[in-house]
Amino acid sequence: VGVGGARGIGGATVREATKLGGTVVIADVSDERGAEIANEIGATYHHLDIRNRAEWEDVLGKVVADKGGIDILHISAAVLTRPASVPVFDDPLPWLTEENWRRSCGINVDGVVFGTMAAIPHLEARGGGMILLGMSGAGYGGWALAPFYSMTKASVNSWMRATAELLAAKNIKVTTAAPGAPTDGG
C-alpha cells in the first residue's frame, strides 16, 4: 500500500513497485491524481485522509478484503510548513502559525502513528511484513527553513526506532527511507 502515492516520492515509489511486479494500492487525498496514477500503472486507488484513524481502519480493511492481505505499507505522505509556491529560502517565520502546526502534526505525525497502528494486525495476520516510513534529513537535526517539518520528522524517526524494537518479535520490520527530493514536482 503506497500512502501518498499520488505525487512526489510516493508516486515514484508506486510506479517502481509496479515495475518490480508488486500488487499496488494507492491511498491519498488527491483523488483525481491518485486515480490517474492508479489507472496508469494498473493499481487500485482509495481515498485516505491519514489524519483520521477510522479512515485508516476502513481503507486497510478494504485492501485486505480485496487483495487478501498487506505485506508492505509505505507511508510517504508529508507536508512542509510553507506552501509549495513559496521559495524554500523565504523567511519561515510567517508560516509558523497554529494552523500550520496542526496541519504538519496531523499529516506528518498522526498519519504515521495511525497508519502503523492500523497496519499491525493485518501484517501480523500475514506472519510479518514491513512498514516503511518516509523520512528526511531534516529530522536528524533542526532545519531552520522548516522548523515544524524538522520537528515532525524527528518524531517519525523516534517512532520508527521504538516500533521497530517492539514489532521485531512479530516479524514486522519498521524502517525509514530518506530518498531526497520529489521526482515529479508534485
Q: Please give the positions annotated as active site.
A: 149
**Distance between CA 97 and CA 186 in Å, rounded?**
23
C-alpha distances (whole Å) from 170 to each of 42, 122, 164 are 31, 11, 10
Gyration radius of the chain's alpha carbons: 16
Q: Where are the beta strands (DSSP E) in the chain?
A: 2-3, 25-28, 44-47, 72-75, 129-134, 172-177
Closest CA to 70 of 16, 5, 115: 115
Residue carrying C-alpha cell 481502519:
57
Residue pair 174/131 in contact by the 8 Å Cβ criterion: yes
